Each structure stands twice: as structure tokens, then as C-alpha cells.
């Protein structure tokens, strides 16, 4: 009977030690992460830009690089989905505006041509394959990021985004006219004519 009690106590102690060991060393073998981030504001600038239209692009970009012979040992390749939001509109700093206060009149020059104001893009790497003698490094990923953005810029040229921004020109000018007339002034256009 005493042997059974001692055996039961030993089993309970082994069980408790097993749980303690598991909790202590399981945490030791777990992967640990450290992240550090520094946010630096380099400069702040005032801007007077008007977004006329936004375009959303989703493209598949394929990249392949190899040394000498195109076999798996010497090649690296990636299949990337590029998602981008492109804002196109007008830089109003280039707009000529003259105010004649004694006549309560504002003379506005022609609106500049629409331009790309911003491109926000994300890359999703679907298939990254590296060869034994050719692998990706940080410089390659930076290059892929730039090439993907350039690819989107080329697709903007093929799209009708600039034409849609031009079509918005009447709406922009009518909005400016409404704001000017709301305070009792008159708006005159220099160069192009805009319809109401």
C-alpha cells in the first residue's frame, strides 16, 4: 500500500515537473520578434492641387532574371500583382489668377493640363522562385518596386484617365465660378471658354 502511495506521489511530481518544463522551455524555443520603427518628417509643403479623377489599376507583372543559361539553377523569377490608385488632376499653383478689387472681378487663366498627382501602389508577391546560384536581395526588391510603379505609369498613358480629367475641367471651372459669384464677384476666363 505504501509503495502505491509513493508511486502515485512520484507520478504526480513527474506530471507537475512535465507541465513546468513544458511551459518554461516551450517559450524558450518559440520564435521571438523585435520590431523597431522610426518616423521622420523630412519636410512639410503647402500644396494647391485639385484631384479631378482617380483610377484604380490591378495588373500582373512578371519578372525573370538569369545568368547565361535559362535553367532553374541560374534563374530567379517573380510573379507580382500590382494594385495602384492613381490621382489625376490639376496643379493650381500653375493657374494664373488676377483679382481686380475695384471692379469685383477675378480673371482666371486657362487651367493647366491634367497631370498625375499621386500614385499609391501595393505589391503582392505570388510566386518568387530563386535558383541555387541566383537569388533575390534587398536591391532586387527595390528595383522590382520601381519597375512595377513605372509599369503602372505606362498603363496610365494607355488608359483614358487624362481624358476623364479633361472632361472634369468644366465642372472644376463651374465650381470656381459658383464660389466667386456667391460672394458677389464676377469671374472671367482668359483663353479657353467653359460652359455652364
C-alpha 57/C-alpha 152 separation (Å) is 8
Render pLDDT for 45-76 as a digit per residue (tens, 0 to 9). 777 888 888 999 988 888 887 777 777 677 88
Q: Examine the pLDDT at 26 and tell me if it is beyond 70.
A: no
C-alpha 148/C-alpha 75 separation (Å) is 20
Render pLDDT for 68-121 as a digit per residue (tens, 0 to 9). 777 767 788 888 888 999 999 888 888 888 888 888 888 888 878 888 999 998
Confirm if 121 and 149 have CB atoms less than 8 A apart. Answer: yes
Kindly provide the b/e burial profile for residues 105-125, where b requires at least 16 CB atoms within 10 angstroms of the residue's own CB: ebebeebeebebbebebebee
pLDDT at 88: 92
Supply the pTM of this predicted model.
0.64
Average pLDDT over residues 37-51: 75
Instruction: For residue 181, give Cα distances in angstroms to 93, 170, 175.
Output: 22, 16, 10
C-alpha 121/C-alpha 171 separation (Å) is 28
pLDDT at 44: 75
C-alpha 140/C-alpha 21 separation (Å) is 44
CB under 8 Å to 181, separation ≥6 — which residues? 187
CA atoms within 13 A on the CB side of 193: 1
C-alpha 196/C-alpha 178 separation (Å) is 10
Confirm if 124 and 91 have CB atoms less than 8 A apart. Answer: no
pLDDT at 85: 93
Q: Examine the pLDDT at 194 and tell me if it is beyond 60.
A: no
Render pLDDT for 140-151 as a digit per residue (tens, 0 to 9). 888 888 888 888
C-alpha 169/C-alpha 189 separation (Å) is 13
CA atoms within 13 A on the CB side of 89: 19
Amino acid at each position: 500500500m505504501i509503495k502505491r502511495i509513493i508511486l502515485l506521489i512520484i507520478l504526480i511530481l513527474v506530471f507537475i515537473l512535465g507541465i513546468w518544463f513544458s511551459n518554461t522551455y516551450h517559450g524558450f524555443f518559440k520564435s521571438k520578434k523585435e520590431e523597431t520603427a522610426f518616423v521622420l518628417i523630412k519636410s512639410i509643403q503647402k500644396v494647391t492641387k485639385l484631384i479631378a479623377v482617380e483610377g484604380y489599376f490591378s495588373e500582373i507583372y512578371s519578372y525573370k532574371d538569369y545568368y547565361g543559361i535559362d535553367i532553374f539553377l541560374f534563374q530567379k523569377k517573380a510573379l507580382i500583382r500590382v494594385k495602384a490608385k492613381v490621382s489625376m488632376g490639376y496643379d493650381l499653383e500653375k493657374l494664373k489668377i488676377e483679382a481686380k478689387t475695384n471692379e469685383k472681378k477675378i480673371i482666371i487663366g486657362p487651367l493647366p493640363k491634367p497631370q498625375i498627382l499621386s500614385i499609391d501602389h501595393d505589391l503582392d508577391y505570388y510566386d518568387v522562385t530563386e535558383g541555387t546560384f541566383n537569388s533575390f536581395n534587398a536591391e532586387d526588391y527595390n528595383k522590382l518596386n520601381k519597375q512595377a510603379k513605372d509599369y503602372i505609369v505606362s498603363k496610365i498613358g494607355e488608359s483614358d484617365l487624362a481624358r476623364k480629367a479633361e472632361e472634369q475641367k468644366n465642372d472644376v471651372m463651374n465650381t470656381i465660378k459658383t464660389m466667386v459669384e456667391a460672394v458677389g464677384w464676377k469671374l472671367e476666363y482668359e483663353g479657353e471658354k467653359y460652359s455652364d
